[in-house]
Amino acid sequence: MTFLAPSLLWGLLAAAIPIIIHFISLTKTKEMEFSSIRFLEEMKHESIRNLQIKQWLLVLLRILIIVALVLMVARPTTEGFISSWLKGDVDSRAVVIIDNSASMSMEGENESLLENAKRQSKSLIQKLDEKTNVQIFQSNPLKLIYSGKQDRVQSINKVINTITQTATADKLWLDIITALQSADQHEINKECFIFSDLQSLPDTSSVNQLQNELKEWKLYFIGQETVQDNIGIYEVLPVSQVKLPDNLIKLNTLVTNESNFEKRNVPIELYLNNERVGQVVTAFNPAKGKEFLFQAYPGKSGVIRGKMTIPADDFAYDNEQSFELSIPKQISCMLIGESVEDVFLLEEALKSISGENEYVYLHRKIMPAIDKLFLEDTDVLILHRPNNISMKALDDIQRFAARGGGLIWISDTNEQQTSSAIESALKLPIYVQPINAGEESYYSVKKSQKQHALFSDLTVRNISAELPEVFSYIRVRPRLNQSVILSMHNGDPFLLEYRLIGGHVYYFSSPIGLAWNDFALRGLFVPLLHRMLILLATDESNTLTVFAGEIKEINMTKELLNAKWEVYSPSGKQILLIPDYNKEVLIIEHTKELGSYEIYADGEFYTAFSTQLDPHERPVNRASGQSIVNAVGASRAQYISPGQNASAVLQDLRYGKALWRNFLIIAIVLLILETIIGRPNTKALKSED
């Protein structure tokens, strides 16, 4: 406890007055004549003793009354963050941070959390001391929106009203530290007021900075309401990697009930190209989630735009999640071999896949020595028994892979080993030795990965019966992160896959031809080759989702490098873009809205991608106020719970709670007791008469 007027405590000396008066009254005696002292002897042991106790009790009560009144006028308060002598006497610095991240859009009892924070901040700033210098920051993006004196009420209210809701994630603790570091440091009293739903605890680095570099600052965290009614779409993931217009697309969807009560008859709807193609109606238990597998036919190739929706509730940002699926219209394939006969079986298989609609645009090249390659318009490169590759061609292949191109490498079985430079540059499996089964012998092949995308939803009845018999092959040892798909019964790889820079590689250890195996005669050969082409040619890098606010890069073809590029946001806002000519990509920084973005080149649709809610911004994520105070330090941080009057509570926390009313009540109670005890006993007086 402390006092705002400590000089008045000298009045406690007045507490001696009742004692002084009492002793003075004892010196004044009045003589009376009695016929006998017998009655006085009887009173000595009863009435006189009671009278003395009563007199001293009254003296004590009068002392306490004087003490209580003096303490009351000395303005007692509880000990606050700010010493009482600082109030109104020195310059102060107040930093106000208002969180406008996605989670603050949640609707509370009367308004959104952001609107509540803005209203509370206005009220608080008006009650700061007149000499306080105020700085106001918004969190997303971190921006100083006001710096000036506390008394400019209209200007402060105006800038706070300009803070708009965003769909992006905050970096609250980094924002707090950055804001405090940028604030002026000359004031004695430094305070920071944070209006946020506080979704995470500070990391060790942030705690160290707050406790050391910024130890002079006092922190006040004003909490917000918790979620009451919300169901959220957590993820929509395509299960099918092989995507064709006439094949079912499978989408795994996770939906969670964040409410504390059961939700019934909740419709979950799937849309593809603005047409509803699926719906599920279900119930959710409190704080429980469910997974759903939707299936639908895309119906066409190109970029398929979809979305999953649920009904409206207190948090709108997780009621819809958009996505894009990329289904290639045509696959440009380059096939390279030593001779026409060498690639005949592969060429015929590719022609059967292409069909009448020329789904596969095939460019066959006969190159006994591969010197230079032009792969700008190629999706998939097939190299059959490549034995002589120049360093210039190797560089072309690496650039092709870097931009996401797909490679099918079908090795030879001769004694001539691929050069170590090429093996290392293309991360080929490590060569061991050639293996020959001998006359009338073979190696059987089995699946090493039963659930691989190459085998999903195949119409082949018995896959094991359609696997090849291998007569000769190259024994190789897979590198780290290389995955074996098919292997011989002795464990040696027949088909494996791996990532190369930005591209994807399938590697066969045995050539396609009857001299080495009978794979080309098997019913699995054409479907498997077809799926390889689809997986290699499907460039999903452009359609992959990003979190709202993150940078998105779009790969583009060289012929469109000088095109006029435009991006349309989910709200229809048009943004003109200039490509990065060195990387041959578009860099899109304006992704603050949730939904689907469309990209156009010279007025023609090019691709699309979606943004989604950062999982850290889900309203169910909350750090407890006590845990935050414990992390920062109770001597430097305080937490105000939702529902409390923030301005009033902060006033008590900062300067302490006024206690004068308590001492006034004590004085009144003591005065009443003194009056009751000091009242004369009229019945006793009458009996004496």
pLDDT digits (tens, 9 = 90+) for 239-267: 877 777 778 889 999 999 999 999 999 99
The reply to whether omega before 141 is within 30° of 0 (cis) is: yes
Q: Is 0.75 topped by the overall pTM?
A: no
Kindly tell me if the per-residue pLDDT of 641 is higher than 50: yes
Query: pLDDT at position 652, please?
Result: 56
331-537 is classed CATH 3.40.50.880 = yes
Report the CATH fold assignment for 84-226+622-655: Rossmann fold (3.40.50)
Kindly tell me if the per-residue pLDDT of 591 is higher than 50: yes
* Pairwise CA distance, residues 129 & 94, whole Å: 10
Kindly tell me if the per-residue pLDDT of 459 is higher than 90: no
Mean pLDDT computed over 379-389: 92
Q: What angle do CA 100, 104, 110 make, to 5 degrees?
A: 120
Band the pLDDT of 43: cuts 50, 70, 90. Answer: low
* Pairwise CA distance, residues 437 & 452, whole Å: 28
Band the pLDDT of 495: cuts 50, 70, 90. Answer: very high
Is-contact 436 471, C-beta < 8 A?
A: yes
Tokens of 568: 């349309």
Q: List the single range of 13-22, 104-113, 173-182, 622-631 with lowest mean pLDDT.
A: 13-22
- Residue 180's φ and ψ, nearest 5 degrees, are -70, -35
- Report the SS3 class of residue 457: coil
456 membership: H or E segment, kind and range = none
Kindly tell me if the per-residue pLDDT of 653 is higher than 60: no
Greater model confidence, 568 or 672: 568
Please determine whether the domains at 331-537 and 546-612 fall in the same fold group of CATH: no
Kindly tell me if the per-residue pLDDT of 675 is higher than 50: yes
Band the pLDDT of 119: cuts 50, 70, 90. Answer: very high
Query: pLDDT at position 85, please?
Result: 42
Query: pLDDT at position 454, please?
Result: 86
* Pairwise CA distance, residues 650 & 193, whole Å: 10
* Pairwise CA distance, residues 230 & 284, whole Å: 11
Q: pLDDT tens-digit profile of 523-568?
A: 899 989 998 998 888 878 889 999 999 999 998 877 888 899 999 9
Candidate CATH numbers 1.20.1540.10, 3.40.50.1820, 2.60.40.10, 3.90.1150.10; the one for domain 546-612: 2.60.40.10
Greater model confidence, 494 or 187: 494
Kindly tell me if the per-residue pLDDT of 98 is higher than 70: yes
Report the CATH fold assignment for 231-325: Immunoglobulin-like (2.60.40)
CA atoms lying within 13 Å on the CB side of residue 241: 14
* Pairwise CA distance, residues 413 & 362, whole Å: 26
Kindly tell me if the per-residue pLDDT of 40 is higher than 60: no
Other beta carbons within 10 Å of 624:
12
Query: pLDDT at position 655, please?
Result: 53
Query: pLDDT at position 88, please?
Result: 46
The domain segmentation of the chain, as residue ranges, is 2-26+50-78+660-688, 84-226+622-655, 231-325, 331-537, 546-612
Mean pLDDT of the chain: 86
* Pairwise CA distance, residues 429 & 422, whole Å: 11
Annotate 54-99 with DSSP letters as a single string.
HHHHHHHHHHHHHHHHHHHHT-EE---SS-GGGTTTS-EEEEEEE-
* Pairwise CA distance, residues 342 & 348, whole Å: 12
The residue among 239, 229, 230 whose CA lies nearest residue 323 is 239
